[in-house]
Amino acid sequence: MNKWGKNWYTTIAAVMVASIALAACGTPSGSPADTPAVPAKSVNLTGAGATFPAPLYTKWFDQYNKLTGVKVNYQPIGSGGGISQITEGTVDFGASDGIMTEAQMTKAEQKNGPILHVPMTSGAVAVIYNLAGIGTGQLKLTGEVLADIYLKKIARWNDQAIASLNPDLKLPDAAIAVVFRSDGSGTTYIFTNYLSKVSPGWSTQVGNATSVKWPGDIGGQGNAGVAGQVQQIPNSIGYVELAYAEQNKLAWAKLKNTAGNFIEPTLEATTRAAEGVSLPDDMKVMLTNSSNPEAYPIVGFTWILVYVNQNDKDKGEALAKMLWWAVHEGQQYTEPLTYASLAGSAVSKAENAILSIKYQGQPLIVR
């Protein structure tokens, strides 16, 4: 008994010393993180948010899983849902088509510290119409005229304001049926952001949000609902995501940008939009009404939202590496899926944001 007891104490003491020594070795250096290969250990990440980039994210996370073994589970529950989930900390990352409001930022920061907006891709909103004999890209509109149509100030297609922009089109003497998105959506956020920038009347009377108080006429559920109404109702106008308009071959309008050019909503013109806007370091910027002469004016980023301070080293590291991959190699998947890729300073600003992600004060990846 005595002999065993003595040994027992020695063993305990030895283990304690050893573990302290090990712990001391483990904590101080953050250097092992900069090895490029992802550890073979299986890490699962969860994210939730915007529906608009969901097809791209699904493709990304599938490819990324094949490359690295990291499983990413993404739930497209809507931008608002993504923001509240990341605020509650129930997911590893959120996703949103809109910028978090001051109130939302404060709420999240009080709970889990500073939060980042990392841009992933950008999307455009196409203005679609149903006018007999007028094909895609033939109708020209300016932001002011578009805002007045949605404010119901311009009520007929042969209004002087529209006719003077389209002298060679035969516009019908008919009422304009205005179609909007009835469900809250990032598409509406980008669209109303643009209208607020170009029309003082819009910004005072209606404003900018994922759903607003529409002056008229018909609400459609989702992109499909809006497109369905526009295709069915003669002399109507609506707005949908560029990807949806392109896949369904809808007739879209050319819009006048700040340089005075009438631009069709193409992926190229969408990517250009980020080059005419000065991008702040926190990337919380809307790309609408870009000054680039080749840019389409109704464009917005879609972001992934992550906390600067990660609680779990393995997860945090996997998350940072996944984001790094998404803004670099991942960009090759954007155009086949009709998303616009990130370019120029948008990429370097995104890199800076990803590099700032930390675990216990140490960066998780190094350039």
Partner 1 sequence: MNKCRPDTSLSAGRSDTVTASRARIGDRIFSRLTLFFGILIAVILIALLIVLNIDAWPAIQKFGLSFLTSIEWDPVREEFGALPAIYGTLLSSLIGLVIAVPISLGSAVFLSELAPEWMRKPCSFLIEMLAAIPSVIIGLWGLYVMVPFIRNPIEIWLGSNLGFLPLFEGPPFGVGFLSAGIILSIMVIPIITAVSREVIAAVPLTQREAMLALGATRWEMINRAVLPYCRSGLVGGVILGLGRALGETMAVTMVIGNAYVLSPSLFSPGATIASKVASEFNEASGDLYIGSLIELALVLFAITLLVNIIARLLVWRTVSVRGTGE
Site string for partner 1, 293-332 (x = CB under 8 A): ----------------------------------------
Cβ neighbour number for residue 151 with a 10 Å cutoff: 19
Determine which helix (DSSP H) or strand (DSSP E) holds 304, and give its type and residue range.
Answer: strand 299-307
Assess 216 for contact with partner 1 (CB under 8 A). yes
Distance separating alpha carbons of residues 179 and 129, to the nearest angstrom: 10
Distance separating alpha carbons of residues 186 and 288, to the nearest angstrom: 13
Distance separating alpha carbons of residues 341 and 266, to the nearest angstrom: 12
Assess 49 for contact with partner 1 (CB under 8 A). no
> Which of 60, 64, 214, 303 is in the footprint of partner 1 by CB under 8 A?
214
Assess 101 for contact with partner 1 (CB under 8 A). yes
Assess 348 for contact with partner 1 (CB under 8 A). no
Closest distance of CB 203 from partner 1, Å: 10
> Which of 217, 246, 294, 335 is in the footprint of partner 1 by CB under 8 A?
217
Residues 6 or more apart whose CB falls under 8 angstroms from that of 308 comprise 113, 114, 115, 116, 356, 357, 358
Closer residue to partner 1 in complex, CB, 219/363: 219
> Which of 68, 85, 122, 185 is in the footprint of partner 1 by CB under 8 A?
185
Span 131-150, contacts to partner 1 by CB under 8 A: none
Nearest residue to 81 via CA among 185, 154, 4: 185
Closer residue to partner 1 in complex, CB, 15/175: 175
Binding segment for partner 1 among 15-23, 164-172, 217-225, 308-316 (CB under 8 A)? 217-225
Closer residue to partner 1 in complex, CB, 99/279: 99
> Which of 120, 139, 177, 251 is in the footprint of partner 1 by CB under 8 A?
177
Environment class of residue 188 by beta-carbon count within 10 Å: exposed (0-12), middle (13-18) or buried (19+)? buried
Closest distance of CB 87 from partner 1, Å: 10
Closest distance of CB 206 from partner 1, Å: 7
Nearest residue to 225 via CA among 189, 180, 190: 180
Q: What is the DSSP string of 205-227?
A: HT--SSS----SSEEESHHHHHH
Cβ neighbour number for residue 233 with a 10 Å cutoff: 15
Phi and psi at 136, nearest 5°, equal: -70, 140
> Which of 219, 309, 337, 343 is in the footprint of partner 1 by CB under 8 A?
219
Site string for partner 1, 194-213 (x = CB under 8 A): ------------xxxxxxxx
- DSSP 8-state class, residue 171: -
Binding segment for partner 1 among 7-15, 76-84, 125-133, 160-168 (CB under 8 A)? 76-84
Do residues 270 and 119 touch, judged by C-beta distance below 8 A? Answer: no
Phi and psi at 339, nearest 5°, equal: -115, 155
Closest distance of CB 47 from partner 1, Å: 16
Assess 229 for contact with partner 1 (CB under 8 A). yes
Binding segment for partner 1 among 10-18, 79-87, 129-137, 330-338 (CB under 8 A)? 79-87
Binding segment for partner 1 among 22-30, 126-134, 182-190, 324-332 (CB under 8 A)? 182-190
Assess 69 for contact with partner 1 (CB under 8 A). no
Closer residue to partner 1 in complex, CB, 125/346: 125
Assess 159 for contact with partner 1 (CB under 8 A). no
Residue type, 254: K
Nearest residue to 258 via CA among 153, 152, 144: 144
Do residues 308 and 357 touch, judged by C-beta distance below 8 A? Answer: yes
Phi and psi at 70, nearest 5°, equal: -80, 125
How many binding residues for partner 1 (CB under 8 A)? Answer: 36
Distance separating alpha carbons of residues 335 and 325, to the nearest angstrom: 16
Chain residues that interact with partner 1, rule: CB under 8 A: 77-81, 83-84, 101, 103-104, 175, 177, 182-185, 206-214, 216-221, 225, 228-229, 232-233
